[in-house]
A and B are shown apart, each in its own frame.
Chain A
Amino acid sequence: MAAVRHSSSDGSSHRGMLLLLLLPGLLALLTTFLLPLIWLVRASFASSAVAALKGGDWTLESYRTVLYDPFYWKVAWNTLYLGVNVAIFAVALSYPIALFLARTKSRWRGVLTALAVAPLLTSSVVRTYGWMVILGDRGVINAALQSSGLTDGVIRLTNNYFGATVALVEILMPYAILAMLSGFGRLNTQFEEAAALLGANRFRVFTRIILPLSLPGVLTAALLVFVLAISSFVTPRLMGGGRVFVIGTEVYNEATVTLNWPLAAALSVLLLVLFGSVILIYQRAMRALET
């Protein structure tokens, strides 16, 4: 009896200790994440830019504007489309690299992994400018095409949707590689050897063993890239030449050009809702994979 009581009091003090240790983190999260978010939601219900800062009346006007205006539906669609495209290409291009890094027995593995994620050391703004130089009207690709006689005039590779997609794919690939590497835990060469022993050819080993086992990593990478792509702002703005209307660029325009802060806030909330629904779908998919 005494022993039980002792252990239970021990357990509650343990829990108290845990809470105490979590407190600083929770407080930081509250002040740097939750409070601004609450403020943002509040601003989306304000009637004017000044009311968004000072509080005051509540109105659904901004949401009405967003929901009833086909332009914003188009913007939301553009954003989703960009996110899906970037996720597909980034994952497809990163998959072989991640697979190689996960399976290699080379002693350079650590170095190679570091190299694969090294682009993260450079700001995405700088890398976007790099792509502007490569894809520009007077850029490397256009110059090569023209001097080789393959094309006459300039091919528009940037200042449009294509340029924004290409740059985002490259910029987000390191995230995809990292996510897949950590998600490939279930990959085990013994399964492959067993399958090969039982007569499966390499293609069959890949489709029946490697691919299914790596699917959780692929899904996680796709989700991560998708979320980063639909919330991106700098790259679509710089590479899109003003022609790529996504939620990020619209939030910026409403906030700084037309000074409609409530509308900017409402668009941000819309983006959050998009995030939320995609994460729900992802969780369903993961659960389905595990059972």
Chain B
Amino acid sequence: MKNAIKGRKAATFAGIVAAGIAFLSGTVFAQDATKGTVNVVGFSGVFADNYQKFIIDAFKAKYPGIEVTYQQSKNSAETLALLTLQRADPKVDVALIDVSVAIKANKEELFTKLDAAKVPNLADQPEWARIDGDRSVAFSQDNLAILYNTDKVKTPPTSWADLVDPQYKGKIAAKLSDTRGVILLPILTRLKGGDYKNSVDPGIEFLKQIAPSVSTFEPAPDCYAVVQSGEVDLSICWNGRAQYLHDTQGGKIGVALPKEGSIGQTNTIGLVEGSKNKEAAELFVNYALSAEAQATFAEKSFYGPVNTKVSLTEPVAARIYGTKEAQAAQSSLDWNFVADKYSAWIQRINREVIAAN
């Protein structure tokens, strides 16, 4: 009887010890960065599909213990609102967001500074891509391009200056009062021999010459569909999506990357301040910035890579940047400078270019 009690006590003790070990080891595992969840919020549509397939799935194959969720956001404004509202208790760990909105978010310290020891791939990013002391890092660039309807336009445009060609009068769709216009201004200013940091007047003047040829400044449903349907001949829009539609929709959309070079809409990745899955999120950010991830994403989605270690094959480079001449002329912007001017430039485009036409 006494023995039986003793035996039961021993069993209970053993049970407690076992539970304790399990509990402790559980905590140990949870702290191990190779387990956990990373909640990503980012762009929607084709971007989301590609990002899931080529970045997230590849990351999960490397780190099977880490779960990655991807939440689509309609636009960066919505992402900013989400991050602001969750400020005290973030549900999101990593955000993919437009660079100009990222800079706004950084003013509110919504993103945390990345630690180069935890994110070693930071070392391979160019200076301009490491924004606000590594709070936001550019990871891809989608070039602004001239899209054309391949049935109607037999000689594709080769220069931004072709936009003022009288043969396209009334046949251009150009949404100018957003990032497209903000990127076009430095491009056109440079074309006229100016420097956007001094003044974008030359760019505004150029836009004024294009404006009379524009049929709609608000292409609906979007700047791709109006070219595909033949409603307009040309449209000023993003390369990546157009290349995808070119391949999937029977080549109705052609993409001309002008010889004077382009500038990309820049997407950044940021680690949310107060993230509850910081270690796993750092691993993810590091992977997203790696040459391997960026090379794959460039090949599959035609978004220009940022990592300096990425070398693209010639056919891929041609579909992202255009001819050798255009590749050499490709440039990027001082985004802190541009973010500061963003509203003012859009205001000028609205008032001096669009409202006047």
Contact = CB atoms under 8 A, between A and B. Distances in A.
Max chain B Cβ within 10 angstroms of own Cβ: one of A50, A129, A136, A243 = A50
A256 B220 CA distance: 17
Given A154-B170, A241-B217, A259 B80 contact: yes
Nearest to A156: B170
Nearest to A240: B218
A245 B350 contact: yes
A206 interface: no
B123 to A, nearest CB: 32
Contacts of B354: 242-243
B355 A53 contact: no
Given A71-B351, A159-B216, A243-B217, A137 B170 contact: yes
A251 interface: no
Interface string A148-191: 00000010100100000000000000000000000000000000
Nearest to A244: B218
A129 B220 CA distance: 9
B108 interface: yes
A257 B80 contact: no
A54 interface: yes
A53 B81 contact: yes
A255 B355 contact: no
B259 interface: no
A132 B85 CA distance: 38
A134 to B, nearest CB: 13
Interface in A125-148: 129, 132, 136-138
B77 interface: yes
B74 to A, nearest CB: 9
Contact of B215 (A74, A137, A253): A137
A256 to B, nearest CB: 5
Interface string B64-105: 000000000001010011001101000000000000010010
B156 interface: no
Contact of A242 (B81, B175, B351): B175
B343 interface: yes
Given A237-B218, A238-B220, A259 B101 contact: yes
Interface residues of B, number: 31
B230 interface: yes
Contacts of B342: 258
A154 to B, nearest CB: 7
B108 A138 contact: no
A2 to B, nearest CB: 61
Chain A: number of interface residues, binned into ranges:
20 to 34
B150 interface: no
Nearest to A78: B355
B357 interface: yes
Interface in B205-259: 215-218, 220, 230-231
B94 to A, nearest CB: 20
B56 interface: no
A71 B346 CA distance: 13
Contacts of A54: 84, 87
Contacts of A129: 220
B194 to A, nearest CB: 24
A256 B347 CA distance: 14
A71 B77 CA distance: 24
A151 to B, nearest CB: 14
Contact of A255 (B77, B218, B231, B347): B77
A88 interface: no
A258 B215 contact: no
Contacts of B108: 50
A257 B85 CA distance: 19
Given A71-B355, A256-B77, 11 more contacts: A50-B108, A53-B81, A159-B218, A238-B220, A242-B217, A243-B355, A253-B177, A253-B350, A257-B178, A258-B342, A259-B80
The 4 closest A-B pairs by CB, nearest first: A242-B217, A242-B218, A241-B216, A258-B343
19 contacts: A49-B104, A50-B84, A53-B81, A137-B215, A138-B230, A156-B170, A159-B215, A159-B216, A237-B220, A240-B218, A242-B216, A242-B217, A242-B218, A242-B354, A243-B354, A243-B355, A257-B178, A257-B346, A259-B104
Interface of B: 75, 77, 80-81, 84-85, 87, 101, 104, 108, 170, 175-178, 215-218, 220, 230-231, 342-343, 346-347, 350-351, 354-355, 357
